[in-house]
Amino acid sequence: GQNIDQPTEMTATEGAIVQINCTYQTSGFNGLFWYQQHAGEAPTFLSYNVLDGLEEKGRFSSFLSRSKGYSYLLLKELQMKDSASYLCAVELRSNYQLIWGAGTKLIIKP
Amino acid sequence: GAGVSQSPSNKVTEKGKDVELRCDPISGHTALYWYRQSLGQGLEFLIYFQGNSAPDKSGLPSDRFSAERTGGSVSTLTIQRTQQEDSAVYLCASSSQGQGAYEQYFGPGTRLTVT
């Protein structure tokens, strides 16, 4: 089967850096997505990783290691508006479906 | 351009009643997905439409749930004989392709409360 694990909640300080981890167990996947979801709103796309390594996009970076079944989202220069849930999702190779983690609620404190 | 829209935004219904939830995807998007999200939980896949292919219904939790997509555009998710455990936010998403790293664009969701 497939399983995705993320920490339930994290707290960080405005201006700091935070790393949100995602571990997964799947039988085969194409790539891994990260989405951001503000409370009461729909998820919005952040990143997609296919190859191992780090992909940087402004203040946000995403890392993937296929051999370790591990990904992380790195947020730099944290702003209060970054307070949200961050969802990790794996795209299955068999049918292109996304299997979603439960999300990590990130709380930013001044 | 217009994003994904869903209606109603909120629906309160009595246990045992039927409900219909509507999704208007982004124009030209061939793939459409329905998800369910309970409070504090991740997204639970329900059903997936891709072009004219038969839908993938593997995520529907019971035969009380059904969905259709007319003319390759608007989709309706129907829940018959609603139960309290059906209470959740129902999210619709569309993408330009149904496979291969294509970003899913989500609608605002319908919050369903079964009393």
Percentage helix, strand, coil, to 5, in chain B? 5, 45, 50
Per-position pLDDT tens, chain B of length 115: 589 999 999 999 999 999 999 999 999 898 899 999 998 788 999 999 988 888 889 899 999 999 999 887 999 999 999 999 999 999 999 988 755 557 889 999 999 999 9
- pLDDT grade for A91, boundaries at 50, 70 and 90: confident
Q: Name the residue among B70, B109, B54 with its Cα closest to residue A95.
A: B54
CB spacing of B101 vs A31 below 8 angstroms = yes
Per residue in A45-72, pLDDT tens?
Answer: 999 999 999 999 899 999 999 999 999 9
Nearest-5° Cα angle at B34, A87 to B75: 145
B25 to chain A, any CB pair closer than 8 A? The answer is no
B113 vs A37: CA distance, rounded Å: 21
A104 vs A53: CA distance, rounded Å: 22
- Give the gap in angstroms from C-alpha B70 to the nearest C-alpha of chain A: 22
Which runs of E-coded beta strand occur in B25-102? 31-37, 43-50, 65-69, 75-79, 88-95
